[in-house]
């Protein structure tokens, strides 16, 4: 939707195609990080005013609570400057609500909307893209100068125009279920990431909401699931029922939904996200944070940049791979430092003793905590990593 918002702002006509209708659910952790807040403000400052003004749907979240394998707890705020905030730095909201909010912002003056429409095939021909559509059993053929793949994990644009294949070492399997009456959540609705020994480098999560519901889930690299022959559903149930600390919090809890699963294509493998007549955004471009599993922020970042690139492409009359590579380069220039740091942290999480050491270090070291905050706050980590004083403070517990 971010791409559509930018195109509409520039009065460019375009088509939105979705195989579903809205509102519709999407399996997700439901966390909206500081990056989401920042990016929505770049597109339209009124959007965040609406979200912050609706606490029934959007739960204000002020940080993340990490639990290391040895049980140590580390609280990291979403903002290093909370006194300057006009509203919560992050939010938690069911995707069925948030996605419908974004969809409601589509401008019908410039966006032609086609719902319940599946893309059957995509063919590139004579510097155009031919899209075969299926709307309720009625097939049609449309021709476009450019298509944007924003269909998530199983993007047909990526498959047809890029020959995309899943890489298990850069792919995460996740499960989600909703509960109510889970006890002892942080008063400021910190999201919780529990790095349990048996899940490393994955984690178990608890994301609380104002209405008493809690998004509970588990995620693990697909390569580890296969190698260890892990039954994720059984692992999720076992943690909730038998973990010595976590199970106490579910003593009076009630399950509200079935357990559902989805895949997360991680950004740890830099891949091609543009080519002749196409761009890939968000999960379709494998841009999910490899440590936290957060994907909405990077989806909006890439969607905004895609919109800006399309404006330039139309003005230049060019939709070739060379011109559109500007999008690829801009996205990775903005996200690569953060993704690389997250990938290093994910690798660190594979080693229990080392991960325990870093969490213990972060509990005592403000500089390290602030660096982790930057990952959620949409600050430029590159600037921090280039400062010699950063490493001095890191080494000497400043």
pLDDT digits (tens, 9 = 90+) for 203-258: 999 999 999 999 999 999 999 999 999 999 999 999 999 999 999 999 999 999 99
Question: Residue 364 above 60 pLDDT?
Answer: yes
Which has the higher per-residue pLDDT, 201 or 91? 91
Cα–Cα–Cα angle for 394, 396, 398, rounded to 5 degrees: 70
Is 1-170+266-398 assigned to CATH 3.50.50.60?
yes
Mean pLDDT lowest among 144-158, 175-189, 342-356 = 342-356
CA 136 from centre of chain: 30
The mean pLDDT of the chain is 90
Which DSSP string do the residues of 318-385 spell out, in sequence order? --SHHHHHHHHHHHHHHHHHHHHHHHHHHHHTTSHHHHHHHHHHHHH-HHHHHHHHHHHHT--HHHHH
Mapped onto helix, strand or coil, the DSSP state of residue 257 is: coil
Tell whether the model's pLDDT for residue 3 goes beyond 60.
Answer: yes
pLDDT tens by residue, 310-361: 999 999 999 999 999 999 999 999 999 889 988 988 888 888 998 898 888 8
CA 60 vs CA 55, 161, 210: distances in Å: 7, 40, 8
Structure-token match 């943690």, residue found: 239
Mean pLDDT of 369-388: 57
The Cα 17–Cα 61 span in angstroms is 32
CA gap 285, 331 in Å, rounded: 10
Q: Where are the domains of the chain?
A: 1-170+266-398
The closest of 172, 221, 204, 176 to 71, measured between CA atoms, is 204
Share of the chain above pLDDT 90, in %: 76
Confidence of residue 127 (pLDDT cuts 50, 70, 90): very high
Beta pairing partners, 130: 123, 143
Closest CA to 68 of 204, 189, 169: 204
Whole-angstrom Cα Rg for the chain? 21
Stretch among 179-188, 193-202, 308-317, 372-381 having the lowest mean pLDDT: 372-381
């Amino acid at each position: 939707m971010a791409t559509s918002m930018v195109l509409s702002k520039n009065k460019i006509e375009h088509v939105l195609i979705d195989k579903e209708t809205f509102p519709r659910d999407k399996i997700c952790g439901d966390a909206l990080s500081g990056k989401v807040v920042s990016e929505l403000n770049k597109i339209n400052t009124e959007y965040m005013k609406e979200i912050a003004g609706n606490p029934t749907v959007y739960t204000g979240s002020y940080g993340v609570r990490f639990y290391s394998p040895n049980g140590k707890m580390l609280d990291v705020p979403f903002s290093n400057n909370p006194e300057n905030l006009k509203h919560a730095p992050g939010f938690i909201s069911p995707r069925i609500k948030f996605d419908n909010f974004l969809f409601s912002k589509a401008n019908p003056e410039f966006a032609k909307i086609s719902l319940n429409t599946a893309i059957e095939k995509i063919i590139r021909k004579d510097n155009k893209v031919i899209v075969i559509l299926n709307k309720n059993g009625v097939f049609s053929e449309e021709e476009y100068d450019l298509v944007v793949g924003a269909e998530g994990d199983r993007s047909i644009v990526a498959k047809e125009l890029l020959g995309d294949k899943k890489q298990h070492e850069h792919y995460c399997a996740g499960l989600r279920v909703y509960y109510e009456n889970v006890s002892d959540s942080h008063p400021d609705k910190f999201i919780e990431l529990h790095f349990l020994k048996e899940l490393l480098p994955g984690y178990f999560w608890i994301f609380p909401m104002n209405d008493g519901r809690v998004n509970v889930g588990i995620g693990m690299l697909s390569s580890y699931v296969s190698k260890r022959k892990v039954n994720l559903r059984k692992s999720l149930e076992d943690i909730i029922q038998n973990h010595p600390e976590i199970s106490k919090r579910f003593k009076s809890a009630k399950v509200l939904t079935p357990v559902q699963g989805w895949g997360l294509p991680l950004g740890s493998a830099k891949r091609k996200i543009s080519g002749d007549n196409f761009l890939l955004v968000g999960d379709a471009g494998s841009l999910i944070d490899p440590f936290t599993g957060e994907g909405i922020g990077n989806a909006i970042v890439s969607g905004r940049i895609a919109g800006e690139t399309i404006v330039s492409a139309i003005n230049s009359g060019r939709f070739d791979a060379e011109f559109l590579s500007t999008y690829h380069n801009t996205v990775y220039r903005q996200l690569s430092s953060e993704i690389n740091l997250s990938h290093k942290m994910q690798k660190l999480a594979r080693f229990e003793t080392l991960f325990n050491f870093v969490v213990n270090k972060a509990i005592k070291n403000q500089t390290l905590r602030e660096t982790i905050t930057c990952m959620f706050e949409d600050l430029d980590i590159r600037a921090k990593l280039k400062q010699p004083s950063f490493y001095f403070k890191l080494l000497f517990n400043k």
